[in-house]
Structure 1
Amino acid sequence: MSAYVLVEVDIHDGSLYEEYKKLTPASIEAYGGRFVVRGLSVQVMEGDWKHDRLVLLEFPSKEVALSWYHSEAYQQARAIREKASSANFLIIG
């Protein structure tokens, strides 16, 4: 069963965040993942949403998504993301 990683991002350093965006796709693809939503505009219809960016990833399973998240390749990108932004990461599935 597929699993999804939903990420809400607040960017503090746009140029550094661009470096993160360059590193992340290869790490996702290496685990059979793909971007479903990446940086599209968000229109709030109900409730409150105040983040700068929304990303939705799809992986073959929850186990694979967790393996990607903890992988050495993603940890290098994550270190950059944590300097450039704050984020909420959720796994669904």
Structure 2
Amino acid sequence: MNKGYLIGHVTVKDPDAYAEYAQAAAEAMQPFAPKIIAWSGQYENLEGESHQRHVVFEFASFDEAKRFYESPAYQAAKALRAGAATGTFVLVEGGNV
């Protein structure tokens, strides 16, 4: 089974409100136990819209990543992000290499 990846690119507008979201999102993520592949750090925007922060989480499968994103706990956390940040979130299925 191929892994699933949740990739987020975020620009924070309200750091205090975003911190609340980050805490709630981390708690919502615990039952899914994703592996952190990338978490901010150095980056270079090569094309397209630029954001301040970038994250990549690896889940056991695409379906598991989607279950996390659609979970009631994460949807409640996501509501805290509204107005605190803008960004793009994508689910990607890993391929067989």
TM-score per shorter chain, which class? Answer: 0.7 to 0.9
Number of aligned pairs?
Answer: 92
Task: Structure 2 unaligned segments of length 5 or more: list them.
Answer: none
Task: Structure 1 unaligned segments of length 5 or more: list them.
Answer: none
Counterpart for residue 19 of structure 2: 18
TM-score norm. by structure 1 comes to: 0.87
Counterpart secondary structure, 2:5:
strand
> 2:41 matched to 1:40?
yes
TM-score norm. by structure 2 comes to: 0.83
Q: One-letter code of the match for 2:35? A: R
| Whole-Å separation in 2 of the counterparts to 1:91 and 1:30 | 18
- % identical aligned pairs: 25
Per the alignment, do residues 34 and 23 of structure 1 end up closer, same or farther by CA in structure 2, a change over 3 Å counting?
farther
| Whole-Å separation in 2 of the counterparts to 1:39 and 1:23 | 18
Q: Hey, which bits of structure 1, 4+ residues long, moved more than 3 A?
A: 46-49
Residues 28, 34 of structure 1: 8 Å contact kept: no
